Chain A
Amino acid sequence: MAFDLKSINRKTVQAGLAAFALALSSTVALAADKLQYFTWSGYELPDFNKSFLAAHPDGVEASMFGDDDDAFTKVKAGFRPDVAHPCYDKVARWNKEGLLQPIDTKRIKNWDSIFPVFKNLPDLQAGDGKVWMVPWDWGNTSILYRTDLVKNPEPSWNLLWDKQYAGRMATIDAVHDTPVVAALLAGVNPFDMTPEQMEKVAEKLREQRPLISNYTTDMTSVEQALASGQLVAAMTWNASATSLKKQGVPVEFMKPREGMLTWACGFVLLKDAKNVDLAYDFINSRLETDSGKYLIQAYGYGSSNSSAFAAVPKEELEKLQLPSDPEVMLKTTVFTGPMKQNDELAKMFEKVKAGG
């Protein structure tokens, strides 16, 4: 062997180990005073909470997830962040498992400027001026397609079932996206269905599987594949449309006649949160006008804060296909609320993806 292990000085190894142990213990000590934030990847950007970071430099430690069902099982299994960022359809589920503590709206400075349509969502209400989730972001799910490769498609989700484009389409690997669309196309209520109706949804999903290049939540890969022309159409969120348009890729975010899916997500406070005061500071910072403005301009998502919309020019909002009032949007879209058969649907979707 070229390496002679004996030649490595024993003292060096000991010193190295000691330094490593020291580094480890100091990060553990520091981590306890930092806000532990568990969020979708891409939502940890410092620009979203500038004032928080000004007051508490280096005060957030973020962990990321790609799908809030996976996040739920991680928290259920013992991961204990202070603040997490699931979407509305999952709040009841987190709550049922006893993972959350109510958030006092009196301590949320911009609570009054949150759109009433989000404030009044039934699963948020914890009574006595308290809520289970503070809404922060909302957006749409639809088909993003290359206008040069898919010529004048019918505005319908059926594009993702079009055999012409077999192998050149991708879809989102999450229960509240692809199966919901399959249910809409099968004429079934996505949020409450009988076993027979679920079989209809499964049939629709099976029909789609051979045409799909991959099921994924990795939007960066999807964007790259759309830009290279490997994919011609994919189910995505607004941010992908915004990002590809900025890059000059000829794409369009479809307005399907069955309706886009609209979702809303927000912050929940975990029951065993160690840094409750920091958590309130953090949520307050994220609800500032600037933060919401950045969310709109950088990602093309809607802010829950009406004052953020007032700060963005009208033309820009039009380009982003974001009406300044979510209630206008919700008249034509399908809001993804809690799904009664979430787990059964998830199981069925997994089986279909595997070929069953």
Chain B
Amino acid sequence: MSTIVARQPLPESRSSTGFRLAMLLPGGLVTFFLILFALGLVVFLALRGNDGSLLGAGFTFANFITVASDPLYWTVTLRSLAIAGLVTLATVVTAYPVAYYLAFHARRRRGLLLFLVTLPFWTSYLLRVFAWKIVLAYNGVLNSALIESGIWSEPTLAFLNTPAAVVVTLAHAYAPFAILPIYVALDTIPKSLLEAASDLGARPFTSFRRVVLPNSMPGVLAAALVVFVPTVGDYVTPALVGGPASTMIGSLIQAQFGKANDWPFGAALAVAVMLVILAVVLVVRSADRRFGSRI
């Protein structure tokens, strides 16, 4: 064991300040133009009235009042949160064992397995959605297998065009996003902690519950966030594998910018959804702080 010595900060030279500014510049530009400016534009648009033109006219809160007062938007938002919540749950629960295996048991195969985890990303997202369509369709893989094996006598319509199909497809698509952060969290747990646990007589399950799980919670929460936030607003997947009962808020926003031709209202919906997601994230963070993850 070595003692840790606090390093003295190096004296700032002019060239290092210049270097630091140069390194911050690209990130700063991207943040300002692509994120803050775009966000500002959306908020601006959300406060405009729709007159069919690109940027609307006048200033009004009418869009937000409509969003808040029409129960439909609440229903659809809640439905999106529920679907995204289920997707997150399914993704994290299935990703955890994979990450656990990668971190503790894969040894020399780790590189190969990590490569296999990212392999689906080599194909387009749409292709992966269509692959699920082939599996879940009326004359698809799953139905054919069930009929061949004599479990069912007639193909069922219950797979495709349902909210369940959306959950399965999204959970598959986002799996690597959950596996990687959990794997990193598990991999950074000091092995000495596990050794200490078994030295003190903890059974494997106890040391998992008391040492591994709490220490990996930051990774689990990061994974949950990375999966939850983009899936709330997804609209491609429900359009392709979900029926009318799985219309999500993303589809409604897209329709305002497309067919319905009301950009200000679409922007207001987008801002409202952003606020809802922000609220959910804050609740999760405070819960995490209260119930403690990494001790």
Contacts and interface: CB of A to CB of B under 8 A. Distances in A.
A355 B80 CA distance: 13
B145 to A, nearest CB: 16
Interface in A33-91: 67, 69-70, 72-73, 76-77
A111 interface: no
B251 A229 contact: no
B243 interface: yes
B109 to A, nearest CB: 9
Interface in A167-201: 167-168, 174-175
A348 to B, nearest CB: 9
Interface string B117-161: 000000000000000000001110000000000000000010011
A225 interface: yes
A225 B260 CA distance: 28
Contact of A69 (B72, B160, B239, B258): B258
Contact of B138 (A210, A230, A343, A351): A230
Contacts of A3: 111, 115
A213 interface: yes
Interface in A297-356: 343, 346-347, 349-351, 353-356
Of listed A73, A174, A228, A354, residue having the most chain B CB within 10 A: A354
A343 B258 contact: no
Given A353-B244, A355-B245, A356-B75, A347 B137 contact: no
Interface in B211-259: 239, 243-245, 247, 251-252, 255-259
A209 interface: yes
B70 A356 contact: yes
Given A168-B157, A354-B251, A77 B72 contact: no
A236 to B, nearest CB: 17
Interface in A13-37: none
Contacts of B112: 2
B284 to A, nearest CB: 26
A213 B161 contact: yes
A210 B247 CA distance: 13
B244 A228 contact: no
Given A72-B261, A346-B260, A229 B139 contact: yes
B43 interface: no
B259 A354 contact: no
A105 interface: no
A93 B75 CA distance: 33
B259 A350 contact: yes
A242 B60 CA distance: 50
A166 to B, nearest CB: 10
A69 B261 contact: yes
Contact of B259 (A1, A2, A69, A212): A69
Nearest to A344: B260
A97, A174, A215, A350 interface centre (most CB from chain B within 10 Å): A350
Nearest to B139: A228
Contacts of B255: 346, 350
A73 B266 CA distance: 13
Interface residues of B, number: 33
A266 B139 CA distance: 38
B139 A215 contact: no
B252 A354 contact: yes
B258 to A, nearest CB: 4
Interface in B26-79: 52, 54, 70-72, 75-76
A214 interface: yes
B259 A70 contact: yes
Interface string A199-233: 00000000001101111100000000100111000
A212 B244 contact: yes
B157 A213 contact: yes
Contacts of A353: 244, 247
Contact of B72 (A73, A215, A354): A354
B262 A343 contact: yes
Contacts of B258: 67, 69-70, 73
Interface in A115-158: none
A214 to B, nearest CB: 5
A289 to B, nearest CB: 36
B75 A346 contact: no
B72 A214 contact: no
Interface string B255-288: 1111111100000000000000000000000000
A175 B244 contact: no
A215 B258 CA distance: 15
A72 B259 CA distance: 8
Nearest to A66: B258
Contact of B115 (A2, A72, A97, A356): A2
Contacts of B111: 1-3
Contacts of B75: 354-356
Contacts of B161: 213-214
Contact of B260 (A209, A214, A347): A347
A62 B54 CA distance: 25
Interface in B157-208: 157, 160-161
Interface of A: 1-3, 67, 69-70, 72-73, 76-77, 97, 167-168, 174-175, 209-210, 212-216, 225, 228-230, 343, 346-347, 349-351, 353-356
Given A1-B114, A215-B244, 17 more contacts: A1-B110, A2-B111, A72-B261, A73-B257, A210-B244, A212-B244, A213-B157, A213-B243, A214-B243, A225-B138, A230-B157, A230-B160, A343-B262, A354-B75, A355-B75, A355-B245, A356-B70
17 contacts: A1-B111, A2-B114, A69-B259, A76-B54, A210-B244, A212-B244, A213-B243, A214-B243, A228-B137, A230-B139, A230-B160, A346-B260, A346-B261, A350-B252, A350-B259, A355-B76, A355-B247
4 pairs of A and B residues whose beta carbons are closest in the complex: A2-B111, A356-B72, A230-B138, A228-B139
